[in-house]
Structure 1
Amino acid sequence: MTRAASSPAPSELGKLGELSKVLELPPENLIKSISAVPVSKKRHVADFQFSIASVAEGSSSDCLAQDLNLQAQKLAKRLKCDAVVREISTGPGTVNFTINRELLAKTVLQQVLKDGSEYGVKSELFSTVPRQKAVIEFSSPNIAKKFHIGHLRSTIVGNFIANLKVALGHEVVRINYLGDWGMQFGLLGVGFQRFGDKEKLQSSPLQHLFEVYVKINKEAEDETTKKLAKDFFRKLEEHDEQTLSLWKQFRDFSIEEYIRIYKRLGVHFDEYSGESFYQEKSQEVLKLLEDKGLLQKTIEGTGIVDVSEKKDLSSFSTVMRSDGTSLYLTRDLAAAIDRMNKHSWDTMIYVTDKSQSNHFQHLFQILKLMGYDWAERCQHVSFGLVQGMKTRRGEVIFLEDVLNEVRSRMLQNMASAKTTKEIEDPVETAEKVGLAALIIQDFRGLLSSDYQFSWDRALQSRGDTGVFLQYTHARLHSLEQMHGNEQLTDVNVACLQEPDAISVLQHLLRYDEVLYRSSQDLQPKHIVSYLLMLRRGSVSFKLHAQF
């Protein structure tokens, strides 16, 4: 009954053609109405269900629930079992189909073997989804500062979205939009002139610049220091050669350090951009806003744009300082326009914490007011805060401290575990397993939710954790190596008829639906929940099929 090409095809497994005739609807209209039934440990479940509500007009009202149940029962009576469908039943507004067990096992496993890593991706669910070009902006740390732990979620969430879209055949441009402009660089420049050391800058750039910034911040309220910082930034904006050269060193050294950390995370970018790229282009945006009559001046001389529905200034955005210079929002407007001109994207996704939701609402609204219809295709994927992430030394600030901590804790756990085998590179293994533990704990809930981090919970070797997921993957890979990797042409399914085996097969049927759901709302929790349940199924089922 499934509509997935990567699962058993509709023509092979079930009544899609018969349903089409009975309902007098084209088969393609029924594809999304048929889904694999979620596996339940508490009761026997059918393999597929057909939703009456999805094809019944006006069926969303609660008062129609009884009518939908009646329609399901009437439809079930008009359908017959055959060599493929062994049982037809009804549920709340659904007609349920149980497939011949041997056919189910054989067809699913053959499809898994045939599609390999593309299993689920070739589903008919994606056949109507056009291949697109997506620009994804994520991570975006501030240069001249060590990689703050606050940027971890943006980095791993953005990387998940990019990987998912690539897996589904879309073209992706990964952009790291660095915080590399602003008055703070005037203060840092003055600080480096007073406390900087060129050798330390080369050997440990971010650590040294952090130390310099801490020292100069203590003097930030001094009027002389304030004036020097303004002068330094003014020279930077005027492209003074010496000042610009020092700032460029800060930027280049920062990116080198970030690339090293991104490598540990398994993350890469196609483009490193930043606010500095749009300093001049933001002036063009201000001119465009003025020409379109959107730029208004306050008594103080600042430039604002009215984004209220009634145009009564009940809601507005500041886009220009009183001295005529641009702001963060102005540079974001310039960046969005430039990216469309450069990449001709179909969708652009910004991955930041939820505190910036208002900023992006205003950004998209101003782009619409400027006449850019493509602003409708911009999206902000927001996420909540991680609380309680501490190392043994106390509250954590920097990402690298977290990565070192998780590696250290995993090494300790591996050394104390009786079942740990000798491995070639325990440090690298500890890092990879530990990172998986961090990501799985992060991805288990809704991205918009804050959550309390726990080292003990994340690094447990049993239960629904990234550690056990990696452990299960390693066991399965070991079985694969043990039995050889040659291509199989046939499968003996006689020994795959017990309930645990059927549960795993039923769960495999749902993979394309899970991928589709994640592709629609960009939430990783669907895939994580699916994998954890599959892991539980594979542990309870002792695989002993003969091929």
Structure 2
Amino acid sequence: MAACSFRRSIASQLSKILDLPPENLIKSISAVPVSKKRQVADFQFSVDSITEDRSSDHSAQALQLRAQMLAEKLKRDAVVSEISTGPGTVNFTINRELLAKTVLQQVLKDGSEYEIKSELFSTVPRQKAVIEFSSPNIAKKFHIGHLRSTIIGLLGVGFQQFGDKEKLKSSPLQHLFEVYVQINKAAEDENTRKLASDFFRKLEEHDEETLSLWKQFRSFSIEEYIRIYKRLGVHFDEYSGESFYQEKSQEVLKMLEEKGLLQKTMKGTGIVDLSEKRDLSSFSTVMRSDGTSLYITRDLAAAIDRMNKHNCDSMIYVTDKSQSNHFQHLFQILKLMGYDWAERCQHVSFGLVQGMKTRRGEVIFLEDVLDEARSRMLQNMASAKTTKEIENPADTAEKIGLAALIIQDFQGLLSSDYQFSWDRALQSRGDTGVFLQYTHARLHSLEQMHGNAELTAVNVACLQEPEAISVLQHLLRYDEVLYRSSQDLQPKHIVSYLLTLSHLAAVAHKTLLVKGSTPERAQARLCLFQAARLVLANGMKLLGITPVTQM
């Protein structure tokens, strides 16, 4: 690992002076972010990280003094060509030819595995995680924010009143959505609501006719979802939503009763007291007055079943932030039931997308959004002067459009709401998914035109221009970015890294010409651009983006 080998070398020298094991110092040595205004050092060591004594002076002046004293004791060697200090840091500049040789060698050798096995991950044990995500409703078209709710009872009654078996076969989700809209209007009537709760109760009692209808809805929904998921490049190992656990939810209610956790209210509903003082100041309703389960009961059954089945190290639920309270209750009840693994359950929440419209109107379904992204991208490609003849323009437009949606969605904190803009998302310049795809295609085209660079033939002395050094420095930071995203489960770090890489590569592509250069210089530059493209592709794939090679 390129960055690791340099970190180890720096840690080894620091360890002798500080009398600390090198492994204790590794994580305090970080690659310095590239600056547009000036050349920077490659790594920095934070002096504050080794000051364990809280009573010590942590002022900027004191830290600066400590950094200077430490820097004076360090020596330049075959790896480190320069040592300087910053605000509370000791900065290290790596021998320029060694930097180029090590980074390029590592990227081209490891390919898609580059920095995946970094030393930064050595303290992170290999784990099995069960991740529940997407969670659309059975028989409800993918909504752009698809909030999860129990609609099965309403839908069952609606189909009995407004359904058409032929339409169900030909366009299942569209027809079921129409049925849902009709029954939703009728749900203002108390009798309709009673029919819906009767349908749901029959479902839990395993009434054959009711169960058969629900199974049809589920089967048609999943078939349709698989088709849409395929467009997103998403594959699930298992399809089992909370509605799948109706039967097991009754077992959960029995367990809660046996553990003395289930209390009945005057209305006959079942609740679990979550308050610290056991005064019902905080509680969760887990059973309706007719004895049927609720969404949280089925989620409890699902969590217990999945842990028994997969024996995983962690369970991660990815849903919108309006469900934060629900998951807080879910994890609390699991703890009260005696499941220690509830500590390893986590809710990753996301915000709402505001202002998204398609040409067809306000109601936004994911498929409509994907179609819109593809058609707008096709239109942009057709009108762009630089667009080349492409074998399958619709497929390319789909991949670029999806990249545009993903990058706009992942640029900020997942939990933040954001204002969606088609114009901003589909810009070919700036911090967009379209720009990432354009950069990748451009670098791929360069390789096609001049052939792949052979590292053995590269003279790294030809890569000393500031633009080349900036790209190499940025490639050094990749493992830190991956590590950070793995720790806080936020994709924005990877997005920011890839956008910067694309901008640095674009500047280098403009100034470090391959065509017309001496063979030696051309080969070295090709090698640099190939490394940048590989890391760009790796990061894009991690975000669910398929890199395009033409556009």
Using structure 1 for the length normalisation, give the TM-score. 0.90
8 Å contact 1:7–1:111 — kept in the other structure? no
Distance apart, 1:242 and its partner CA:
2.3
**1:522 equivalent in structure 2:** 489
**2:91 equivalent in structure 1:** 96
Q: Distance in 2 between matches of 1:73 and 1:148?
A: 57
Q: Which amino acid aligns with 2:39?
A: H
**2:112 equivalent in structure 1:** 117
Q: Secondary structure at the match of 2:5?
A: coil
8 Å contact 2:142–2:367 — kept in the other structure? yes
Name whichever of 289-298 and 62-71 sits farther off.
Answer: 62-71
**2:199 equivalent in structure 1:** 232
For residues 482-518 of structure 1, give each alpha carbon's deviation from its aligned partner in whole angstroms, at most 9, with x where no partner exists: 3334763342112210111111111010000000000
Q: Distance in 2 between matches of 1:31 and 1:303?
A: 53
Asked if residue 85 in structure 1 is aligned to residue 85 in structure 2, the reply is no
Asked if residue 7 in structure 1 is aligned to residue 10 in structure 2, the reply is no
Q: Distance in 1 between matches of 2:188 and 2:300?
A: 32
Q: Distance in 2 between matches of 1:467 and 1:384?
A: 23
Distance apart, 1:198 and its partner CA:
1.6
Superposed counterparts of 1:298-317, under 5 Å: 298-317=265-284
Name whichever of 537-546 and 452-461 sits farther off.
Answer: 537-546
Distance apart, 1:197 and its partner CA:
1.8
Distance apart, 1:61 and its partner CA:
7.9
**1:175 equivalent in structure 2:** none
1:291 pairs with one of 255, 258, 262: 258
Q: Which amino acid aligns with 1:264?
A: R
Distance apart, 1:240 and its partner CA:
2.2
Distance apart, 1:299 and its partner CA:
1.9
Q: Distance in 2 between matches of 1:62 and 1:389?
A: 51
Name whichever of 236-245 and 315-324 sits farther off.
Answer: 236-245
Distance apart, 1:268 and its partner CA:
1.0
Asked if residue 204 in structure 1 is aligned to residue 171 in structure 2, the reply is yes
2:300 pairs with one of 301, 314, 333: 333
8 Å contact 2:245–2:301 — kept in the other structure? yes
Asked if residue 145 in structure 1 is aligned to residue 112 in structure 2, the reply is no
For residues 67-126 of structure 1, give each alpha carbon's deviation from its aligned partner in whole angstroms, at most 9, with x where no partner exists: 222111111000112232221111111110111111111111111111111111121101
Q: Distance in 1 between matches of 2:319 and 2:56?
A: 37
**1:398 equivalent in structure 2:** 365
1:105 pairs with one of 100, 103, 109: 100
Q: Secondary structure at the match of 1:390?
A: coil
Q: Distance in 2 between matches of 1:189 and 1:516?
A: 47
1:274 pairs with one of 213, 233, 241: 241
**2:534 equivalent in structure 1:** none
Q: Distance in 1 between matches of 2:414 and 2:264?
A: 38
**2:27 equivalent in structure 1:** 32
**2:400 equivalent in structure 1:** 433
8 Å contact 2:155–2:180 — kept in the other structure? yes
Q: Hey, which bits of structure 1, 4+ residues long, moved more than 6 A?
A: none
Q: 1:227 to 1:94 in 2, by over 3 A?
A: closer
8 Å contact 1:285–1:334 — kept in the other structure? yes
Superposed counterparts of 1:299-448, under 5 Å: 299-448=266-415
Q: 1:511 to 1:540 in 2, by over 3 A?
A: same
For residues 218-271 of structure 1, give each alpha carbon's deviation from its aligned partner in whole angstroms, at most 9, with x where no partner exists: 333445544544443333222222222122111101110111110111111000
**1:20 equivalent in structure 2:** 15
8 Å contact 2:138–2:152 — kept in the other structure? no
Q: Which amino acid aligns with 1:143?
A: I
Distance apart, 1:199 and its partner CA:
1.6
8 Å contact 1:386–1:453 — kept in the other structure? yes
Name whichever of 279-288 and 425-434 sits farther off.
Answer: 279-288
Q: 1:283 to 1:487 in 2, by over 3 A?
A: farther
Q: 1:187 to 1:83 in 2, by over 3 A?
A: closer
* Structure 1: gaps of 5 or more residues: 155-177
Distance apart, 1:62 and its partner CA:
7.4
Q: Distance in 1 between matches of 2:438 and 2:54?
A: 45
Q: 1:327 to 1:62 in 2, by over 3 A?
A: farther
Q: Secondary structure at the match of 1:352?
A: strand
Asked if residue 55 in structure 1 is aligned to residue 50 in structure 2, the reply is yes
**1:457 equivalent in structure 2:** 424
Aligned CA RMSD, in angstroms, stands at 2.0
8 Å contact 1:206–1:254 — kept in the other structure? yes
For residues 402-445 of structure 1, give each alpha carbon's deviation from its aligned partner in whole angstroms, at most 9, with x where no partner exists: 11111111111011111111101111111110110010011111
8 Å contact 1:105–1:496 — kept in the other structure? yes
Q: Secondary structure at the match of 2:461?
A: coil
For residues 354-385 of structure 1, give each alpha carbon's deviation from its aligned partner in whole angstroms, at most 9, with x where no partner exists: 11111111111111111111111000001111
Name whichever of 343-352 and 490-499 sits farther off.
Answer: 490-499
* Structure 2: gaps of 5 or more residues: 515-520, 525-551
Q: Which amino acid aligns with 1:93?
A: G
Q: 1:14 to 1:63 in 2, by over 3 A?
A: closer
**1:214 equivalent in structure 2:** 181
Distance apart, 1:8 and its partner CA:
5.7
For residues 441-499 of structure 1, give each alpha carbon's deviation from its aligned partner in whole angstroms, at most 9, with x where no partner exists: 11111111110000000000111110011010011112223333476334211221011
8 Å contact 2:286–2:293 — kept in the other structure? yes
Q: Distance in 2 between matches of 1:512 and 1:490?
A: 27
Q: Distance in 2 between matches of 1:230 and 1:319?
A: 15
1:245 pairs with one of 198, 205, 212: 212
8 Å contact 1:36–1:49 — kept in the other structure? yes
Q: Secondary structure at the match of 2:176?
A: helix
8 Å contact 2:358–2:364 — kept in the other structure? no
**2:470 equivalent in structure 1:** 503
Q: Distance in 1 between matches of 2:6 and 2:61?
A: 29
Q: 1:234 to 1:26 in 2, by over 3 A?
A: closer
8 Å contact 1:458–1:466 — kept in the other structure? yes
8 Å contact 1:6–1:115 — kept in the other structure? no
Name whichever of 330-339 and 509-518 sits farther off.
Answer: 330-339
For residues 508-540 of structure 1, give each alpha carbon's deviation from its aligned partner in whole angstroms, at most 9, with x where no partner exists: 100000000000001011000000001110011
Q: Which amino acid aligns with 1:263?
A: K
8 Å contact 2:6–2:79 — kept in the other structure? no
Distance apart, 1:282 and its partner CA:
1.5
Higher helix fraction (1 or 2): 2
8 Å contact 1:8–1:108 — kept in the other structure? no
**1:473 equivalent in structure 2:** 440
Q: Distance in 2 between matches of 1:242 and 1:127?
A: 55
Q: Which amino acid aligns with 2:201?
A: R
Using structure 2 for the length normalisation, give the TM-score. 0.89
